Every structure is written in structure tokens, then in C-alpha cells.
Amino acid sequence: MGVKKTVAIVGAGLAAGYLIQKQIAKQQKVTPEKALKFAKEAFKKEGPISGSWIYMKPEEKVKHGLTYTVYRGGISRTIDGKPAQYEFFVDAETGSVIDAVESAS
């Protein structure tokens, strides 16, 4: 096999691998870690937070008649010296916070 042919085959293989990797990356959902990061960024706009958690397994949530695959998590903060707990839901496809509610403290 000639050098030119070998270089052409290797180049084509690299190009195909790159395109396949890009396609796979498009189809991947948001990771739980990224979902938590997005939620924390959204909550930090309203003030500091003292703690956070996220459930690593996606679940389904129905909101306004639409079904979403979401990550569920929580945020803790102190407001006027009193602890406040919030539960949030992040869309696993887009990373958008689709709901947040204050939990009973």
C-alpha cells in the first residue's frame, strides 16, 4: 500500500470519527452535575446559597400537560437569619430549570 493511500485512509478515518463524535454529543442529555450547576447559577441570582444536592437518576415530571424528563434537586439558603429549602426540577434535555418550590423547613 502506498504512503498516499495510507494517509488518505487515516485522514478519512479521523474525519469520520470526528463527525460521529459530534453527532453523539448532540444527542447526549444534560448530566446531573451540569443540571445542578445550572440550578445553582439560577438561585445565586437571588442571593447566596449554603448547600445543594441533586438526585442522579432522571425522572418524569408533568407540568401544564407536558411530560418532561428532569433531574430533581434541592438548594438551601438563609433568608433573614432563617433557613430556607427549595426543591427544583431541571429539564434533562435542555438544562433549563422548569420548576422550583419552597419546601417546608
**C-alpha Rg value of the chain to the nearest Å:** 21
pLDDT digits (tens, 9 = 90+) for 34-48: 999 999 999 999 889
Cα–Cα distance measured from residue 13 to residue 27, given in angstroms and rounded to the nearest whole number: 21
Model pTM?
A: 0.70
> What DSSP letter does each residue of 61-73 carry, written as one string?
EEETTEEEEEEEE
Enumerate the β-bridge partners of residue 69.
Answer: 60
pLDDT digits (tens, 9 = 90+) for 69-81: 999 999 999 888 8
